[in-house]
Amino acid sequence: MKKLILGLLVLFFISPTYARLIQSEFVKQSTSARKVQSTETSLGNVVFKDTTIPFSVFQETYQHLTPSAFEQKMNGALSEGPLMFFRSFVNTYYFDLAKTNDSPNLILCLGDAHPENFGFIDFKGETRFVFNDLDDSGVCPLEYDTLRYFTAVDLAFNDKNLLEDVIKEYVQVTNGHKEPTKIAKALVPNLEKKRKKNLEKNTNGKAFLTSDELLPVPAPIKNGLILEITKTGVLGTSEILDIAEVPRETGGSGGLRRYWLLVRSPQGQDILELKEMSRPGVSYGTWQQPSWTQNQRLEKVKKYAWNDSPIFYHAIRIQNHDFLIRSRTKDSVSLSKLSGTELKAYLLAQSGWFASYHRNFVKGEIPNLEQWLKQNLALMKSRYAKTFNSLKP
């Protein structure tokens, strides 16, 4: 069995009862913190008072957006279908669950696990297949992190046999019965080729090409951004040549500011993404979050998820807001272009990677994990499908 000594958090499962040990760096033990006790079942069933999520809950969990930005986000999600609707409201997902459900199984969750948040990142010349979006990560119950991923899989493909195979991969890896399925070599991209293609498509070598997806930034705003970003020191020897605005209305980051930076360094040019950060989705639950800055949170998650960091993947503070800066030299697999066999292999690799991440926080086995997932997936899928239909114009 794989042995890991965790300096931050350990979760013990002992069947038929188990004890949970949560160390203070994640959850401060104070009079206001929940008391952790043993129980006869490792994972509790998910229950709700109503079959749909009220519109007011979506509004309550996205108060950081202006009314017009929220309206665009909601309309964009409803125009795409139940999957995009589910993906777009991470905050609502955790808030809604926490209203009528509780769990002491607190781990460092990825937060917004779904099939399109996996891909390939360049780690100083090495291409790795990883979960690539840590925006909504933080402390939450393990089962809620898991349920989010598999609900997205079910909404995306609606294939019971495929879903069952992907669930079994997750359960077997999480419980230590097998090693995770590796990504097929044929799917691993050439990220250096991707970098050059991005530059050729979106720039003339000195500035961004204007399009519906890349809008020019007024000179005063651009110059102010360049000055503040440079002062953070995060770019090192890289120089910003140009900045473009990227409008985004749907998805988890819908309504937040997003820019692309064209930068030049002694190693060549690259496109970086500057994305406004908001409160992580997992923090909308009732469980306690550590008092981390955005960058401290990212550093903790990167340690467990990647055991390393790309050259650019940091939170910086500019214009009195937190922004994530990361390289656009990354890639993902177009799920719609995969054959049935390829899709299954790709999702197994995702599920195996996801399970191996959760395995960091679990010792032993989680009893009845497969049955728990199947039972509660049906409930969650139905809840979001019905809410989507009730809100769609």
pLDDT per position as a tens digit, 323-347: 999 999 999 999 999 999 999 999 9
d(CA 56, CA 67): 13
Amino acid 113: pLDDT:
97
The owner of tokens 């440079």 is: 230
β-pair type (362-363, 11-12): parallel
Residue ranges of the chain with per-residue pLDDT less than 50 = 1-41, 252
Note the helical H segments in the chain: 55-60, 67-80, 82-88, 90-100, 142-157, 160-174, 191-202, 219-232, 294-305, 340-359, 369-391
Amino acid 251: pLDDT:
53
Amino acid 9: pLDDT:
38
DSSP 86-154: HHH-HHHHHHHHHHH-----EEEE-S---GGGEEEEEETTEEEEEE---TT-EEEEHHHHHHHHHHHHH
Amino acid 253: pLDDT:
54
pLDDT per position as a tens digit, 57-84: 999 999 988 999 899 999 999 999 999 9
Is the pTM higher than 0.75? The answer reads yes
Reported for 171-178, long-range contacts at CB under 8 A and 24+ positions apart, including other chains, are 171/355, 171/369, 171/370, 171/373, 172/355, 173/351, 173/352, 173/355, 173/356, 173/359, 174/355, 174/358, 174/359, 174/362, 174/366, 174/369, 175/365, 175/366, 175/369, 176/1, 176/2, 176/359, 176/364, 176/365
142-157 and 340-359 are packed helices; what angle lies between their axes, rounded to 10 degrees? 170
Amino acid 249: pLDDT:
56
What are the sequence ranges of the domains in the chain? 11-115+131-176+297-305+339-391
In whole angstroms, what separates CA 17 from the centre of its chain? 31
b/e per residue 307-328 (b: at least 16 CB within 10 A): eeebbbbbbbebeeebbbbbbb
Amino acid 301: pLDDT:
94
Amino acid 353: pLDDT:
98
Query: How many other β-carbons are positioned within 10 Å of the β-carbon of residue 41?
Result: 12
